[in-house]
């Protein structure tokens, strides 16, 4: 897979588990289901993590793109 744009990365991560760090330093892990041009993302089976341990299960969530620091596969 050739990555030329950020959307290529997100397309490759669709329906896979990703780790998301938010500006408030929370980390969320879940299955990436959708994204838009503003990098708002929808995840299912989402869990909030603290020190790599599950703090709580959230389920489905929509995250606003301008609050996201990074998305990692």
CATH number assigned to the domain comprising residue 39: 2.30.30.100
pLDDT at 40: 97
pLDDT at 29: 98
Token pair in block for residue 12: 């490759």
Residue 40 placed within a domain: yes
Domain count, the chain: 1
pLDDT at 67: 97
Phi, psi of 53 (to 5 degrees): -115, 145
Question: 54 is in which domain, residue-wise?
Answer: 6-72
CA angle 37/43/48 to nearest 5° reads 125
pLDDT at 4: 80
């Amino acid at each position: 897979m050739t990555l030329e744009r950020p959307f290529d990365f997100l397309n490759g991560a669709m329906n896979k588990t990703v780790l998301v760090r938010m500006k408030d330093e929370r980390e969320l892990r879940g299955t990436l289901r959708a994204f838009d041009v503003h990098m708002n993302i929808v995840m299912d089976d989402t869990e909030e993590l603290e020190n790599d341990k599950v703090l709580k299960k959230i389920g489905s969530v929509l995250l606003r793109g301008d609050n996201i620091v990074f998305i990692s596969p």
